[in-house]
Structure 1
Amino acid sequence: MTINWGALLLVAGVSLAVTVIVVALVAFAMVGFSARESGPQSALSPAAGTAVGYACLAVVTLIVLFGLGIVAKDVLAHLFG
């Protein structure tokens, strides 16, 4: 049994990058939603903050669904193919 180190490093790198992107998008969504709170330090209007929050969460949802679709396709191909 041999290990394909190139493929392993590629998967690890993509996993790390996607994790960082998802965490950053959720953090930006939280910042956007926090603009709805009344405070003098808010750089966004409440409407813009809400829009940014929902947009970031929509992108995160698409990323997660894409990953689940890849896994489901492979599992179904293994089971029925």
Structure 2
Amino acid sequence: MDIDWAALGQVFGVSLVASVGLVGVFTLGILGTSAGKADGSQGGGGTPVLARRTGAYVCFALCAAAVAYGIYIITAP
């Protein structure tokens, strides 16, 4: 039995980068949906709530697309 260590290392590296990246994007989405001030700003010249929420929804859409692509790859003939 012969193990291709280079291929195993590539799979490990790509899996690590993809999982950390996906968790990071999801975290940005969570931060974007957190409540701001009632006047629509984060305070002190911050980003308006509408822009933060839009960015958060884009992050969640990227996460959903990554999950859907993973399911597609697993189930593709």
- The normalised TM-score by structure 1 is 0.79
Contiguous gaps of at least 5 residues in structure 2: none
Contiguous gaps of at least 5 residues in structure 1: none
Tell me which residue corresponds to 2:19: 19
- Counterpart CA distance in 1 for 2:75 and 2:46 is 41
> How far does the alpha carbon of each residue in 1:31-74 deviate from its partner, in whole angstroms, 9 at most, with x for none?
1111x43263683211011101100000111111111111111x
Q: Secondary structure at the match of 2:59?
A: helix
Amino acid at match of 2:33: F
Give the direction of change, closer, same or farther, for the CA distance of 1:18–1:41 in structure 2 (3 Å limit). Answer: farther
> Of 43, 55, 60, which residue of structure 2 is paired with 1:57?
60
Give the number of aligned pairs: 73
Q: Within 5 Å, which residues of 2 pair with 1:38-49?
A: 38=37, 40=43, 43-49=46-52
Amino acid at match of 2:50: A
Looking at secondary structure, tell me which structure has more helix per residue: 1
Identity of aligned residues (%): 29
Q: Secondary structure at the match of 1:37?
A: coil
Deviation, 1:15, is 0.3
